[in-house]
C-alpha cells in the first residue's frame, strides 16, 4: 500500500509542482467552491494512478489544484463512498495521498439528513463530532507506523480551534451556522423510520453516508480537520420523510455558497 501511495503522490507532484497544505473534499452538489478556485489545474481521477473512479451523480471525479484567495489548495470534486462498493482503504486512499503530499489541513463537506428539530433545510451544520456506524473501519488491519499510531486519539477529531474560527466567521458575516454530531452510515438506502429514531436517540443531529472514514484517516495522519454538512432534508421522529438523491442535490446547491465562503475565510485566516 505504501508504494501505491508514494507512486500516486509522485505522479501528482510531477503534474502540478508545488503542493498546497490545504485539501478540500467537496460533497454532493457542492461544486460551487471549485468555481472560486483560480489558476486551476485539473487532474481527472481516471488519469491518476491507483485512484478509484467516482460513480455517483453529482460527484464529477477530479482533483483541482489552484488558489482560493491567496492560498494554494487541492480540492476533490467528487468523493468515493463505501456504498459504491469500494473498501475502506479505497475510500480513504486520497487522504493517504494528501498525507504523502504533506497536506496539513483537511476541509470536508457533505450533504446530510437533518435530525435536529431546530434545523431547517439548507442550513449548514458545523460537525462537532461523529458517530461511526460503518460496518468496516479504515484502520482495520496492519498498522504502518510511518502513517500513524495503532490506536489514534479521536478526542479532537474535528479541530476545536478551526471550529471556533468557523463560528467566528459565520457570526461576523451573519451566516446561520448550526452545529452537531454527524452519524456516518454505509448506505445506499436512506434510513428507515426506526433507524432514524435510533440515530436521533443515540445523539445524532445529522446523518450521511460519507465523511467519517476520511476524517478517521486524516486524524491518523495528524491532519487538522474541519467539516460541514449541508442539511438537505429534515426528518422528525415519528414522521415519515421521503428523501431522493435529486432533492439532496438541489438543497445542497442552495446552501453551498455560504459554506464555500466560510471555508475560504477559514483558510485565509489560518497561520
Ligand atoms: N435523510 C437523509 N438525507 C440525506 N441527505 C444526504 N444524505 C447523504 C447521502 N447522500 C447520498 C444520496 O444523496 C449521495 O452520496 C442523506 C442521508 O443519508 N439521509
CA 7 to ligand 1 center in whole angstroms: 33
> What SS3 state is found at 191?
coil
Domain 2-269 fold is Rossmann fold (3.40.50)
CB-ligand 1 contact for 208 (6 Å cutoff)? yes
CB-ligand 1 contact for 121 (6 Å cutoff)? no
**How big, in percent rounded to 5, are the helix, strand and coil portions of the chain?**
35, 25, 40
50 exposure class (CB count in 10 Å sphere: 0-12, 13-18, 19+): middle
CB-ligand 1 contact for 27 (6 Å cutoff)? no
Residues in CB range of 37: below 8 A, 6 or more apart? 64, 66, 67, 68, 73, 75
Stated as kind and residue range, the H or E segment containing 76 is: strand 71-77
Residue nearest to atom 8 of ligand 1 (CA): 208
How is the chain split into domains, by residue range?
2-269
Sign of the CA dihedral 122, 128, 134, 140? positive
Q: Indicate the top mutation candidate among 82, 133, 207, 242 to test ligand 1's pocket, ranked by most ligand atoms within 8 A of CB.
A: 207
CB-ligand 1 contact for 182 (6 Å cutoff)? no
CB-ligand 1 contact for 81 (6 Å cutoff)? yes
CA 209 to ligand 1 center in whole angstroms: 6
Residue range 25-47, pLDDT digits in tens:
998 666 778 888 999 999 999 99
Length of the chain: 271
Helix 212-220 and helix 93-100, axial crossing angle in degrees, nearest 10: 30
Residue (of 92, 55, 53, 95) closest to 74 by Cα position:
95
CB-ligand 1 contact for 113 (6 Å cutoff)? yes
CA 83 to ligand 1 center in whole angstroms: 11
Confidence at residue 236, expressed as pLDDT on a 0 to 100 scale: 63
pLDDT lower than 70: segments of the chain: 28-30, 54, 56-60, 236-241
* Whether ipTM exceeds 0.90: yes
Residue nearest to atom 6 of ligand 1 (CA): 112
Whether residue 52 contacts residue 90, with contact meaning beta carbons closer than 8 Å, is answered with: yes
Residue nearest to atom 5 of ligand 1 (CA): 112
Amino acid at each position: 500500500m505504501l508504494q501505491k501511495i508514494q507512486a500516486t503522490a509522485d505522479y501528482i507532484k510531477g503534474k502540478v509542482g508545488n503542493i498546497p497544505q490545504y485539501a478540500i473534499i467537496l460533497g454532493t452538489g457542492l461544486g460551487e467552491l471549485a468555481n472560486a478556485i483560480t489558476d486551476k489545474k485539473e487532474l481527472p481521477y481516471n488519469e491518476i494512478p491507483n485512484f478509484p473512479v467516482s460513480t455517483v451523480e453529482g460527484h464529477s471525479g477530479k482533483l483541482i489544484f489552484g488558489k482560493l484567495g491567496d492560498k494554494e489548495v487541492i480540492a476533490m470534486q467528487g468523493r468515493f463512498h463505501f456504498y459504491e462498493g469500494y473498501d475502506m482503504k479505497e475510500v480513504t486512499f486520497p487522504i493517504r495521498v494528501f498525507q504523502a503530499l504533506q497536506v496539513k489541513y483537511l476541509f470536508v463537506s457533505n450533504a446530510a439528513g437533518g435530525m435536529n428539530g431546530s434545523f431547517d433545510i439548507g442550513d449548514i451544520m458545523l460537525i462537532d463530532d461523529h458517530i461511526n456506524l460503518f460496518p468496516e473501519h479504515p484502520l482495520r488491519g496492519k498498522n504502518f507506523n510511518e502513517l500513524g499510531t495503532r490506536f489514534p486519539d479521536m478526542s479532537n477529531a474535528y479541530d476545536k480551534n478551526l471550529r471556533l474560527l468557523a463560528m467566528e466567521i459565520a457570526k461576523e458575516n451573519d451566516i446561520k451556522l448550526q452545529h452537531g454530531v454527524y452519524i456516518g452510515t454505509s448506505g445506499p438506502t436512506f434510513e428507515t423510520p426506526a433507524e432514524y429514531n435510533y440515530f436521533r436517540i443515540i445523539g445524532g443531529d445529522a446523518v450521511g453516508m460519507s465523511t467519517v472514514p476520511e476524517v478517521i484517516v486524516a486524524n491518523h495522519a495528524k491532519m487538522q480537520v474541519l467539516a460541514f454538512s449541508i442539511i438537505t432534508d429534515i426528518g422528525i421522529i415519528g414522521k415519515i420523510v421521503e428523501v431522493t438523491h435529486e432533492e439532496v442535490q438541489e438543497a445542497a446547491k442552495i446552501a453551498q455558497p455560504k459554506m464555500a465562503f466560510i471555508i475560504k475565510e477559514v483558510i485565509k485566516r489560518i497561520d
